[in-house]
């Protein structure tokens, strides 16, 4: 289980997150929606401690961290509980697809090279890149790079995988292959928090949808509740703008 309590973050005087509480059950897929600047990406980055929250508490699995008194060691511990898939992929540029997936296993998890390699190959095959093991990121398409990114996150067997707009940087044609992979692993019961603008994906895959605006959670619920029967005015407005077909599909 992942539990965020009272997460607060400001950049200078600009308050980005205002006392956010969020609970994600094991095996759940939570999608965070919201306009840009709503703080959704920052929230995700706080879970991985790429942003340091000013206040609050993060619980992942059995590891609890108080953001006010977090030592370096605590942060490293917390980071090992989660893995991140980035909007810009952020694959290690100087390493091949296989080495990218192996890196964390060898350096952080201290697996032997052989074991790491076997596991990494299996994962790359799973995301459909068994034939690209020795390709460098610069030789891969955006969709392929992002699938390597997903394999890299999966390899660590984290409690939760965090997806930060995983398809936003992709050509429309390549979005499908990445979403297919995310769907596939969602079915395997891996806990995920996904920030995305893909409404179709959110509807199909999410167990729970969270709508954020202005640094707070405006509304949350099941996809059916949130998409078909939003309660808050701000949510209605947002959904109307982002999915105009809703107007006549009901």
Partner 1 sequence: MKLDPSFIWTALIQLLSAIPTTLVITAVSVTIGFIIGLITALLRIYKIPVLSQIAAGYVTFIRGTPMLTHLLLIYFGLPMLVDALSAQFGWSIKSSSIPMIGFAFISFSITAGAYMAEVIRSGLLAVNRGQLEAAYSVGMTTPQALRRIVFPQALAVSLPNLSNSVIGMLHGSTLVFTVSVVDINAKAQIVASTNWKFFEAYLAAAVIFWGLTLLIERITAVIEKRINLYNRGGVA
Count of residues near partner 1 by CB under 8 A: 30
Q: Determine the Cα–Cα distance for residues 220 and 30; give it in Å rounded to an integer.
A: 10
Q: Kind of pairing, strands 55-60 and 63-66?
A: antiparallel
Contact map string, positions 144 to 183, toward partner 1, x by CB under 8 A: --------xx--x---------------------------
Minimum CB distance to partner 1 smaller for 103 or for 225: 103
The neighbouring-strand residues paired with 60 are 2, 63
Under rule CB under 8 A, residue 103 binds partner 1 = yes
Closest CA relative to residue 86, chosen from 24, 177, 170, 187: 170
Q: Determine the Cα–Cα distance for residues 160 and 232; give it in Å rounded to an integer.
A: 29
Query: Cα-atom radius of gyration of the chain, to the nearest Å?
Result: 18
CB of 148 vs partner 1, minimal distance in Å: 11
Q: Which of 53, 137, 223, 230 binds partner 1 (CB under 8 A)?
A: 137
CB of 76 vs partner 1, minimal distance in Å: 6
Q: Which of 10, 90, 141, 243 binds partner 1 (CB under 8 A)?
A: 90
Q: Determine the Cα–Cα distance for residues 239 and 82; give it in Å rounded to an integer.
A: 30
Q: Which of 49, 201, 211, 238 binds partner 1 (CB under 8 A)?
A: 49
Say whether 31 sits in a helix, a strand or coil. Answer: strand
CB of 136 vs partner 1, minimal distance in Å: 4
Under rule CB under 8 A, residue 92 binds partner 1 = yes
Minimum CB distance to partner 1 smaller for 53 or for 104: 104
Q: Which of 66, 118, 131, 139 binds partner 1 (CB under 8 A)?
A: 139
Rounded to the nearest angstrom, the gap between the alpha carbon of residue 119 and the centroid of all alpha carbons in its chain is 22
* Cβ-contact 130, 97 below 8 angstroms: no
């Amino acid at each position: 289980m992942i539990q965020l309590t009272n997460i607060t973050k400001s950049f200078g005087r600009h308050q980005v997150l205002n006392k956010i509480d969020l609970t994600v059950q094991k095996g759940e897929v939570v999608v965070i929606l919201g306009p840009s600047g709503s703080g959704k990406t920052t929230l995700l980055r706080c879970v991985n401690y790429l942003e340091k929250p000013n206040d609050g508490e993060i619980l992942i699995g059995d590891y609890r961290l108080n953001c006010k008194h977090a030592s370096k060691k605590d942060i490293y511990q917390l980071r090992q509980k989660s893995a991140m898939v980035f909007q810009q992929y952020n694959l290690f540029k100087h390493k091949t697809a296989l080495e990218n997936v192996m890196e964390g296993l060898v350096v952080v998890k201290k697996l032997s090279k052989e074991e790491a390699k076997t596991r990494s190959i299996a994962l790359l095959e799973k995301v459909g890149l068994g034939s690209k093991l020795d390709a460098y990121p610069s030789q891969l398409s955006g969709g392929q790079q992002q699938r390597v990114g997903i394999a890299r996150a999966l390899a660590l067997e984290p409690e939760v995988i965090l997806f930060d707009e995983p398809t936003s940087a992709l050509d429309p044609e390549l979005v499908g292959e990445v979403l297919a992979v995310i769907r596939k692993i969602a079915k395997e019961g891996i806990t995920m928090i996904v920030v995305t603008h893909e409404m179709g994906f959110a509807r199909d895959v999410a167990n729970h949808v969270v709508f954020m605006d202005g640094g707070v959670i405006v509304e949350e619920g099941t996809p059916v509740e949130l998409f078909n029967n939003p309660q808050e005015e701000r949510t209605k407005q947002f959904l109307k703008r982002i999915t105009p077909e809703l107007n006549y599909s009901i």
